[in-house]
Amino acid sequence: MLSMKNIVKKYQMGEEEQTILKGIELSVKEGEFVSILGPSGSGKSTLMNIIGCLDSPTSGEYVLSGRVIAKLSEKELAKIRSKEIGFIFQSFQLLPRMNAAENVELPLVYAGIPPKERIKTAKNLLYRVGLENRISYYPNQLSGGQQQRVAIARALSTNPTILLADEPTGALDQKTGRQVMDLFNELHREGRTIIMITHDESIAENASRVVRILDGNLMETE
Ligand SMILES: Nc1ncnc2c1ncn2[C@@H]1O[C@H](COP(=O)(O)OP(=O)(O)OP(=O)(O)O)[C@@H](O)[C@H]1O
Ligand SMILES: [Mg+2]
């Protein structure tokens, strides 16, 4: 479903050139739950942005669902981002002036889905993440864990090929983080492909496969 070959990412800062990713090799199969574990500054978000087609590598080949990403136009990339990838961030990134259902519906508005259908989908997904009694609540009326579950429902709304999560429990306490991980485990059992980035060993262990990133290199772990 996803394959990266010799992915290099360099940043030019004035005179100095820094190589953040030094030849990443990564394959993820459909239905896998992979976590990418690494310390701060190791290049996790840089890698996530490339996986999510938000950024392009300096060199190397990235193939997602059979398409060579470097060959696509900005318009085609935008389509992949909105249809194939469900993003989940540490800071939830919900829109404050929209309630839970409206936040979940938003990607479907962009996808041109008619109101009736998208309202139904949003309700089903909020039910799915255990928030059926919070459908009309605004983000500031929800706990951190509830906001993250709204964000997960939103990420699922377009039925994406991959769920891509960058430190999804980073802003949550241990118990709430645990609940979010239980939800990820359920989604994995239902056959979702999940790629999760974290610096937390105990969070990473939820995945069926843990890959380590250190100084721009990836290593498989047992
Ligand atoms: N746009 C940029 N320009 C220059 N350097 C950058 C840029 N983005 C990231 N970097 C550098 O790349 C390195 C890796 O950053 P990245 O955000 O990928 O780390 P991370 O593993 O996600 O860290 P954290 O766990 O703290 O989120 C850092 O040293 C950072 O300074
Ligand atoms: Mg990061």
For residues 151-172, b (16+ Cβ closer than 10 Å) or e, as one string? bbbbbbbbebbbbbbbbbbbbb
In testing the pocket of ligand 1, which one of 9, 11, 24 has its CB within 8 Å of the most ligand atoms?
11
- pLDDT, tens digit, 9 for 90 and up, residues 188-222: 999 999 999 999 999 999 999 999 999 899 998 76
Give the nearest ligand 1 atom to 213 CA: 21
- Could you tell me if the CB of 91 is within 6 A of ligand 1? no
- Could you tell me if the CB of 12 is within 6 A of ligand 1? no
- Could you tell me if the CB of 13 is within 6 A of ligand 1? yes
Residue 17 CB-density burial (10 A; 0-12 exposed, 13-18 middle, 19+ buried): exposed
Q: What structural domains and CATH numbers belong to the chain?
A: 2-220 (3.40.50.300)
CA of 38 to the centre of ligand 2 (A): 9
- pLDDT, tens digit, 9 for 90 and up, residues 24-62: 999 999 999 999 999 999 999 999 999 999 999 999 999
Give the nearest ligand 1 atom to 197 CA: 22
pLDDT value of residue 156: 95
Identify the band that residue 94 occupies on the pLDDT scale cut at 50, 70 and 90: very high
Residue nearest to atom 4 of ligand 1 (CA): 11
Mean model confidence pLDDT for the chain = 94
- For residue 51, give every residue at least 6 positions away whose Cβ sits within 8 Å of its Cβ, in sequence order, or none: 2, 4, 62, 162, 164, 195
Q: What is the mean pLDDT of the segment spanning 66-87?
A: 93
